Amino acid sequence: MLLLKLTSLVVLIHLAQSLSLQELTRDEWEAFKVSHGKVYRNNVEEQFRRKIYLENRRKIAAHNKFAKHPFRLVMNKFGDMLPHEFAKVHNGLRVPKNHTLLRMGVGSFLPPANVNVPESVDWREKGYVTPVKDQKQCGSCWAFSSTGALEGQIFRKTGKLVSLSEQNLVDCSGKYENNGCEGGLPDNAFNYVRSNGGIDTELSYPYEAKDSKCRYNVSNKGGYDTGFMDVKRGDEEMLKTAVATVGPISVGIDASHESLQFYSEGIYHEEKCSSTELDHAVLVVGYGTENGEDYWIVKNSWSSKWGEDGYIRMARNRNNTCGIATLPSYPMV
């Protein structure tokens, strides 16, 4: 009789714990939907998304459990998306196979003579960088990387920080081998701005996160360039010097991993990252060192709610992490 009672008690406790867990995950799911404005077409889709959310939740917890990881993950608005879905709509760097032959910038960056490169740089502190933006569900990262680099160079020359129009690039640079929300390349964007004679301000030509008709208006021009410069491919020391002496630099990275999708804080180093298969354009705005670990300060375009207020610190001097030094360039103003 005593054994039967003990067995019944164990079953009841297990059942209560299971129900509590179900209620907890249900409450979390409802909070996730409300927090991120998630609306699904029907119950079938919602249950599908909920399963993805729970699996992502499990992976995030597993990653954070191990202290060896120098960075942490957190659930965010991308929690109901599969990795390939996420990459398709939130990345967008498209690098032609023969791109090294096609890079037709003004030339290659040469480090200035007799300049001592500082151990740390953060161009946000000097006024070179506009607030973090959000590309939303449009593969226009290349446009945000381009405007960020151009905004920095215009500030360097004029002392005025002007937010430039990504939508202008999305809508108008198709003839320069960009493809709007389906992807593009900062170098092509710089070529468009040079040939077009300018780019409109964000205020006059706001972002829509979709392909639209070109509406460039020269009277709303906020900036221009005369071409672009490449930084030596794969050379992190050269990239460091360029960032220190020029300003924010456009780069491409491999952003195809879930660890980046849910990055929260810390110095990011993904062992599976490729240094050649690049699919996302971002902006290097500085660099530094923390507890002996070198890092790049990188501005992303997934909103200020992602990462470290919209930024990520990526490992520096660790074999060109995620290809950050593979495709650097900046516009000439």
Tokens of 114: 């007799």
Show Cβ contacts of residue 280 under 8 Å, excluding neighbours closer than 6 positions.
Answer: 90, 91, 92, 93, 141, 252, 253, 254, 255
Tokens of 266: 């810390």
* DSSP track, 264-294: EEEEE--TT--SS---EEEEEEEEEEETTEE
Residue closest to 281 by CA, chosen among 156, 138, 173: 138
Which residue among the candidates 178, 300, 320, 322 is catalytic per the annotation? Answer: 300
Helix (H, G, I), strand (E, B) or coil at 258: helix
Q: How far is CA 59 from CA 56, 74, 84, 118, 254, in A?
A: 5, 10, 16, 39, 20
Annotated active-site residue 181? The verdict is: no
Spatial separation of the C-alpha atoms in residues 332 and 153, rounded to whole Å: 7
Annotated active-site residue 141? The verdict is: yes
Which residue among the candidates 141, 172, 273, 322 is catalytic per the annotation? Answer: 141
Which residue among the candidates 90, 257, 269, 280 is catalytic per the annotation? Answer: 280
Residue 244, judged by CB atoms within 10 A of its CB (0-12, 13-18, 19+), counts as buried
- Active site residue ranges: 141, 280, 300
